[in-house]
Chain A
Amino acid sequence: MQSFETLDGKRHQDIRIKTGHGENFGENVHCVPVVANELNQLAVHYPVCFLKDTETGQFGLYALLGFEPNQNLYIKSGQWGQDYLPLHIQRQPFIYQINTNSTGLNLAINVDSPRIDNQLGEALFLDDQQPSDYLQKMAKLVEFLQSSLASNQNFIQTLLNIDLIEPSQLQFQQADGQTKKIDGLYQVSRQQLASLSEQSIINLHKTGALQACYLLLASQENFKKLINWYKS
């Protein structure tokens, strides 16, 4: 459930935010949108791929968390036990919104989020209606995510323009011996990457796209871990 309200010191004075992670907060999803700017941290933990939006057909960047709808294999005994969580998860329950209210923070809050409480968790505002440290930290994070989203689209378009993205099929033996096939995943093409002209390589390097490509490829190793979790 989502219902966003522009953040306001008076209106949201008494709201507190529960900061844990896991099923309680609706985080049992099989993939989560991510941005190229966080690939450094992501690539160590998650396989990251391109997926098409089913409504628009446009590519987006996603960390894969499971192989079935609502399956997040990173959540163990109800908890998401991982050092780094994708920004999209960290930012909950806020989104970016230009804000002319008194707070001076460009944020809106999802008031239907299960994180909302009036007793437990982090306070949003101090007694004088000034933003708490927690809230200021969240505002920075959301601003960073917002600016990363724009460069993310450029990154994807750059790769598409030079045919650097290709379909990649994931296939493995399930515990019962059946083959499981995962369609709809797209990945950087190793072959194309290896055959780029010097000029293209320089161009990609300058924008950071080249490094992102290699991080994406490296992140595929995490599928092994995911598959093992899936089977057990």
Chain B
Amino acid sequence: MNNAISSVIIVGGGNAGWITAAILARKLKNKCAGQVSISLIESPNIKTIGVGEGTWPSMRRTLKSIGVSETEFIKSCNATFKQGAKFVGWVSGAKNDAYYHPLMLAGEDEQFNTLHAWHHQAQPQQGAFSKAFCVQDYICELGLAPKSITTPEYASVSNYAYHLDAGLFTDFIKKHCVEKLGVKLLTDDVIEVKASVENTISAVVTKENGLVSGDLFIDCTGFKRLLINKHYQIPFKSCKTILSADSAIACQVDYANTDQAIASTTISTAQSAGWIWDIGLQNRRGVGYVFASDYLSDSDAQAQLASYINNTAGNATNCTFKTIKFEPGHLSKFWHKNCVAIGLSAGFLEPLEASALLLIEMSANTLAEHFPANQSAMQLVADKFNQTFLYRWQRIIDFLKLHYILNQRHEPFWQDIKQAQSIPQSLQNQLELWRYQYPCVHDFEQAIEVFPLDSYLYILYGMGFKTDYPFNVSKQQQDLFLAQCSDIQLQLDHLINTLEPNRKLIEKIKKFGLQKI
């Protein structure tokens, strides 16, 4: 078999390791006729990061593709529905300062025909954009679920992702991998890496089980970066000058009572030196403050977080706070020789748009789809992979930065983060262009884009960005826009009668289950 790649060793059993294992096991089963074995080594001593509760709609596809039931997933992971993000206080910090980044697309076809008509008529008012272009804002404000009990598993009435308990999710995927997908689990510590003459990894040495050899190694060891960095010393590209947050304090908050409403979005509230995420699960909220340590001490951050909790129907005295330090950025290359880094080992950016799990899914899918047949194919596949993912990381950095540069807040953190010299050239160019003409799909490398055009529009115009398009609004466009407005009203009237509050639907799902069809 001309040195076929027949054994994959994943080191690390966090969500990166297990999601990668599931996707590979499922996709390679047919592709490689069951001749590729997938093993995962996880340390009994080193804990997983234990946070990461917001996802992107891609997670629905991932879960469906690996063959788990949505009902089981919702029951096992305390999962709820996420229909987007609500950004509170990101523009001015004034009382009603809020806008949505919903998950429903804003336009049906690739041309946003009515953008100019909207922009022209409404003096771009903060928060008005997403309401004019999609119905999901309203659904979220009403706390409604994105589907009903008669909607089949994974199907939606309005687009959604999940909020989930990170620890339970790891256990859930792990069980599925081991019991259903034939992934071999080894609970042990990797203590050394063995390389051959050409410096490809031939095996890892474990504490209890000795040598574990393989053809392809996946580094999912989190911030430890055991193979890719400790062994190969692939350099890390920090982006702290662009995105200055480097710390997080996370905690779990009890609901005030067991039938408290579950929010439909992640609520991201701006603070003096960063922002607080607020995620509603079935049984508790996950809340955390992401901040820049150059501007705020840990203890002051914790005090701000505690006051947020107390002001939002929580009780901070019951909370255990966990502080996590990170260097924002990513590796200069993710695939080196026969080793691929996926998850936190590849890099980490502040979790503003739940891009981490999304990138894990994308990486594992790309790896499976382009799976190298043998060692000779490896280098070519690796080059392509690196090129694609360097582009993606850079696009995510640009997109996250976009959330900051239109702010009008007065604190030093917010002032500094919008300074021109901290904005990547690629983003500066785009913004310059969008000052004169509206963003369109052709501004993006469509095939490998991470966030769709719609996401950019939601942030830009949600924050009150202005485009000085020099032409009039055509009659045709004006009519289209009016039709769009009445269509949204019709959709809303219908959905209000069809959809139930989140908690009510979750309870029904736990009781009756969703049908597969």
Interface positions of A (Cβ within 8 A of B): 52-59, 160, 163, 165-167, 184, 186
Q: Which residues of A contact B149 (CB under 8 A)?
A: 54-57
**B325 contacts chain A at the CB level, 8 A cutoff:** no
Among B148, B511, B513, B517, contact of A186 (Cβ-Cβ < 8 Å) = B517
Instruction: Answer whether residue B323 sits at the interface, using C-beta atoms and an 8 A cutoff.
Output: no
Q: Which of B148, B513, B514, B515 has the most CB of A within 10 A?
A: B515
Contacts of A186 in B (CB 8 A): 517
Whether B515 contacts A57 by the Cβ 8 Å rule is yes
Say whether chain B's binding surface is mostly helix, strand, loop, or mixed: loop
A56-B508, A57-B150, A57-B508 as given contacts; A163 in contact with B516, CB under 8 Å: yes
Residues A160 and B508 in contact in the complex (CB < 8 Å), given A52-B150, A54-B150, A184-B150:
no
Residues of B within 8 A of A (CB): 148-150, 508, 511-517
A-B pairs with beta carbons under 8 Å apart, 21 shown: A53-B150, A54-B148, A54-B149, A55-B149, A56-B149, A56-B508, A56-B511, A56-B512, A57-B148, A57-B149, A57-B508, A57-B513, A57-B514, A57-B515, A58-B512, A59-B515, A160-B515, A160-B516, A166-B517, A184-B150, A186-B517
Q: How far is the CA of A228 from the CA of B171 in the complex (A)?
A: 56
Nearest opposing residue in chain A for B149, CB measure: A57
Closest CB-CB distance, B159 to chain A, in whole Å? 20
**Whole-angstrom distance from the CB of B174 to the nearest CB of chain A?**
26
Q: Are A165 and B150 in contact (CB under 8 A)?
A: no
How close is A183's CB to chain B, nearest CB, in angstroms? Answer: 10
Q: Which chain B positions have C-beta within 8 A of A59?
A: 515
Which chain B residues lie closer than 8 Å to A184 at the CB level? 150
Collect the chain A residues with CB atoms within 8 Å of residue B517's CB.
Answer: 165-167, 186
Query: Chain A residues with Cβ under 8 A from B513's Cβ?
Result: 57
Question: A163: which B residues are within 8 A, CB to CB?
Answer: 516
Chain B residue contacts of A54, Cβ below 8 A: 148-150
**Bound CA–CA A165/B148 (angstroms):** 20
Closest to B512 in A: A56
Minimal beta-carbon separation of A181 from chain B (angstroms)? 16
CB closest residue in chain A, given B511: A56
- A52–B512 contact, CB under 8 A? no
CA distance A197 to B401 in the complex (A): 57
7 further interface pairs, Cβ-Cβ under 8 Å (given A55-B149, A160-B516) = A54-B150, A56-B508, A57-B150, A57-B515, A58-B515, A160-B515, A163-B516
CB < 8 Å neighbour of A52 from B508, B511, B515: B515
Bound complex: CA A167 to CA B151 (Å): 12
Which 8 pairs across A and B sit closest by C-beta, in order of nearness?
A: A57-B149, A52-B150, A56-B512, A57-B150, A57-B512, A58-B512, A167-B517, A57-B515
The distance from the CB of A69 to the nearest CB of chain B, in whole angstroms, is: 14
What's the Cα separation between A54 and B517 when bound, in Å? 14
In the complex, A105 Cα to B485 Cα: how many Å?
Answer: 61
Q: Which B residues touch A58, using CB under 8 A?
A: 512, 515
- B150 to chain A: which residues have CB within 8 Å? 52-54, 57, 184
